[in-house]
Structure 1
Amino acid sequence: MGGGGGGGRGRSRTQRRHFRQNRENVWKRSRSDNQQQPPSSDDNNNNNNNNNPWEPFATQNPAFNEYYKEQGIVSPEEWDTFMSVLRKPLPAAFRVNSSSQFCADIRSQLADDFMKSLQAEVTDEGQVEAIRPLPWYPENLAWQSNYSRMQLRKNQTLERFHEFLKQENEIGNITRQEAVSMVPPLFLDVCPDHFVLDMCAAPGSKTFQLLEIMHQSTKPGSLPCGMVVANDADVQRCNLLIHQTKRMCTANLIVTNHEAQHFPGCRLVKNCPNASELEIAKEPSITQLLFDRVLCDVPCSGDGTLRKAPDIWRKWNVGMGNGVHSLQVLIAMRGVSLLKVGGRMVYSTCSMNPVENEAVVAEILRKCGGSVELLDVSSELPQLARRPGLKKWKTTH
């Protein structure tokens, strides 16, 4: 906050000085005054004295095409369809808080009110569905909207829907979250008495989801016996994580700030139910805290987020995945070491690169010998589109 505040004060002093000296503030000139505007660094480097309008990001990269065709992440017949989807905007998605007392009411309002009224609005625009529940998410708790932010302010019905989303999000009754981000917590199979570690938790939507699942299965009026430890290496992102999860109003959360690959060992004090307070004080039973579930959503190259971050098209190169592979293995191995016997760890990225996905999983299995096994979850969430992982891939130096 200090940096942001200091920057603001600096700008205001400059503007006041210019005003006293009767100097014109060139940054305040209108957009139409193209000839007088100070050129940007891009103009200086690439296009001197050229006032062409801004152009959207290029949605192609020959190196990307060559690399992923060679890896065979989709069949040759699917390649054109795959690329066309990558160039489409990402639909907005959100989740209804399953532990909220208003969960049923919100779900009914979405299905009986907004779903019908918004469909009437988009009939002329050629969209198939305005909003719809994601079929693979249990109990119709996750929804997808095909509107952009600009469209949401377009007319009265859309405006009402937008205000509904904002209000319920602030209260904590819904959470805006990308559909793909909702998947890993569902495969963890969390129960109310589980100790769960979210290793790279910020910004917190998955942590919120884990807490929801934990509270949803608990009897009304009581708290779960388990807890979620949400960790992130960046202290600023921890602040964001706390801001996101405090809407849950839960006592079953601890936020920590450590590098995930060096997450410290924790000790658990177990009090014997028949022991006196004096005996507990003298000789508490101290054991290492191991987790029933570990979510290992690691830092990655992020090339699976092209639909929301089109600048990756320009930045992408084959070295991005190689550069994070070692860190991903270290984090995943630390997660395995903190897992109970019989526990479950979900490893996930937002990358399509097998060097960051299959290669990391293969290295974990190699390092752990027979102490861990790959779990077949093909029967879980049957409506979720999926395919088997690659069994071979190519590395590039």
Structure 2
Amino acid sequence: MGGRGRGSRSRTQRKHFRDGRENVWKRSKSDSTSSDPNGNGNSENKTHWKPFSTQNSAFDEYYKEQGIVTAEEWDTFIEVLRTPLPAAFRINPSSQFCEDIKSQLENDFMNSLKAETTDGGEVEAIRPLPWYPDNLAWHSNFSRMQLRKNQTLERFHEFLKLENEIGNITRQEAVSMVPPLFLDVCPDHFVLDMCAAPGSKTFQLLEIIYQSTKPGSLPDGMVMANDLDVQRCNLLIHQTKRMCTANLIVTNNEAQHFPGCRADKNGSKASEMEIEPQISQLLFDRVLCDVPCSGDGTLRKAPDMWRKWNPGMANGLHSLQIQIAMRGTLMKYSN
């Protein structure tokens, strides 16, 4: 009876879900025939796709009041937000092909792509990011859309796709590469990534832990990557499995209620007088909190945010962001 009860409730919930949501993609028969007497929808009144609007008066008003930029810089600021986000990627330093990939970028693609012109008028088509160590991170002046559509860039695009699938590089926004660098992670650190999906920062943290480890051996450190959404956890696993590491644990919890962990971090063995090693609360050496955001900074890669944005999106998330940050402080060593 219990099984039938669960199934009944499940079917009822699915029915309510279907009935309670408007299907904005399904054109009704009356709509399709109103424009064309034959029902073919070929009338001149047929609605065509239009590009996303890159204007939002509420956005302008809100950020002008915040004084994010000066009045003289406002137009330049908005113009940058309206340009597509350039592609960026990072080379995995623990890959045996790391130096070969850098050489191919420096001696092949930098020259072969030099003749390509970009919307921003940049001279260099690709270049290493000057603030990232050892020329391991690269910036392209082509947007992801340009890389997919431009036939001249096809060889470079195929190179990026192949090396990304293998795990030799990771395609990641430049701004996303910054937080792991500030954490100053060492190979023996235990690191908690509280809101980890889709996993580019998690992969970067693993790279840092492995960077000074001898080939064939495992580092003493570990990364624990958490996310609330189980589907995003699957994406996180797909992203990080390219590393082929045993130093990663993926968890599925609410970050603001992340449970306490217990472990024998030092790996000490029980003495002759002890039955088992001393197990204590696990506190992390580093904690990364990339908390849920309102998407203000994603306008260049997600232009539909121009239409959706309103001040309530940020204000509504503020308390959750504080809760996650406070929980993160409790998971870290005090020193």
User: TM-score, normalised to structure 2's length?
Assistant: 0.83
Q: CA deviation at 1:62?
A: 1.0
Aligned residue identity for 1:296:
C
Q: CA deviation at 1:129?
A: 2.1
2: distance between equivalents of 1:156 and 1:91?
Answer: 17
Whether the 8 Å contact between 1:231 and 1:257 is mirrored in structure 2 is: yes
Please show how residues 181-192 of structure 1 align to structure 2 within 5 Å: 181-192=176-187
Q: CA deviation at 1:137?
A: 1.1
Please show how residues 171-250 of structure 1 align to structure 2 within 5 Å: 171-250=166-245
Secondary structure at the counterpart of residue 175 of structure 1: strand
1: distance between equivalents of 2:177 and 2:279?
Answer: 35
Partner of 2:287: 294
1:53 to 23, 48, 51: 48
Pair 124,317 (structure 1): closer, same or farther in 2 beyond 3 Å:
closer
Pair 123,326 (structure 1): closer, same or farther in 2 beyond 3 Å:
closer
1:328 to 321, 325, 333: 321
Q: Deviations over 1:283-339 (max 9, x none)?
A: 421110000000000011111100111111111111111100010011000000011
Aligned residue identity for 1:244:
Q
Partner of 1:383: none
1:304 to 278, 292, 297: 297
Partner of 2:77: 82
Whether the 8 Å contact between 1:34 and 1:51 is mirrored in structure 2 is: no
1: distance between equivalents of 2:37 and 2:121?
Answer: 38
Partner of 1:165: 160
Secondary structure at the counterpart of residue 93 of structure 2: coil
Whether the 8 Å contact between 1:129 and 1:146 is mirrored in structure 2 is: yes
2:90 to 83, 90, 95: 95
Q: Deviations over 1:22-41 (max 9, x none)?
A: xxxx9xxxxxx9985559xx
Partner of 2:311: 318
Q: CA deviation at 1:273?
A: 4.7
Whether the 8 Å contact between 2:269 and 2:277 is mirrored in structure 1 is: no
Partner of 2:7: none
1: distance between equivalents of 2:127 and 2:39?
Answer: 49
Q: CA deviation at 1:140?
A: 1.0
2:271 to 259, 272, 275: 275
Identity of aligned residues (%): 77
Whether the 8 Å contact between 1:227 and 1:252 is mirrored in structure 2 is: yes
Partner of 1:341: 334
Poorly superposed stretches of 4+, deviation over 6 Å: none
Q: CA deviation at 1:162?
A: 1.1
Secondary structure at the counterpart of residue 297 of structure 1: coil
Secondary structure at the counterpart of residue 121 of structure 1: coil
Pair 35,312 (structure 1): closer, same or farther in 2 beyond 3 Å:
farther
Aligned residue identity for 1:251:
A
1: distance between equivalents of 2:310 and 2:120?
Answer: 37
Aligned residue identity for 2:59:
F
Q: Deviations over 1:183-212 (max 9, x none)?
A: 111111000000000000000000000000
1: distance between equivalents of 2:151 and 2:318?
Answer: 48
Pair 263,124 (structure 1): closer, same or farther in 2 beyond 3 Å:
closer
Aligned residue identity for 1:139:
D
The answer for unaligned runs of 5 or more in structure 2 is 1-28, 30-35
Q: CA deviation at 1:223?
A: 1.4
Q: Deviations over 1:198-244 (max 9, x none)?
A: 00000000000000011002233321101000000111100000000
Whether the 8 Å contact between 2:127 and 2:138 is mirrored in structure 1 is: yes
Secondary structure at the counterpart of residue 197 of structure 1: strand
Aligned residue identity for 1:171:
I
Pair 126,239 (structure 1): closer, same or farther in 2 beyond 3 Å:
same
The answer for unaligned runs of 5 or more in structure 1 is 1-25, 27-32, 40-47, 343-397
Indicate the RMSD between aligned Cα atoms, in angstroms. Answer: 2.5
Whether the 8 Å contact between 1:117 and 1:157 is mirrored in structure 2 is: no
Query: Number of aligned pairs?
Result: 301
Q: CA deviation at 1:155?
A: 6.4
Partner of 1:374: none
Secondary structure at the counterpart of residue 132 of structure 1: strand
2: distance between equivalents of 1:212 and 1:149?
Answer: 24
Q: CA deviation at 1:50?
A: 2.8
The worse-fitting range, judged by mean Cα deviation, of 132-141 and 48-57 is 48-57
Pair 206,123 (structure 1): closer, same or farther in 2 beyond 3 Å:
closer
Pair 287,310 (structure 1): closer, same or farther in 2 beyond 3 Å:
same
Aligned residue identity for 2:294:
S
Q: Deviations over 1:322-380 (max 9, x none)?
A: 100010011000000011011xxxxxxxxxxxxxxxxxxxxxxxxxxxxxxxxxxxxxx
Pair 109,34 (structure 1): closer, same or farther in 2 beyond 3 Å:
farther
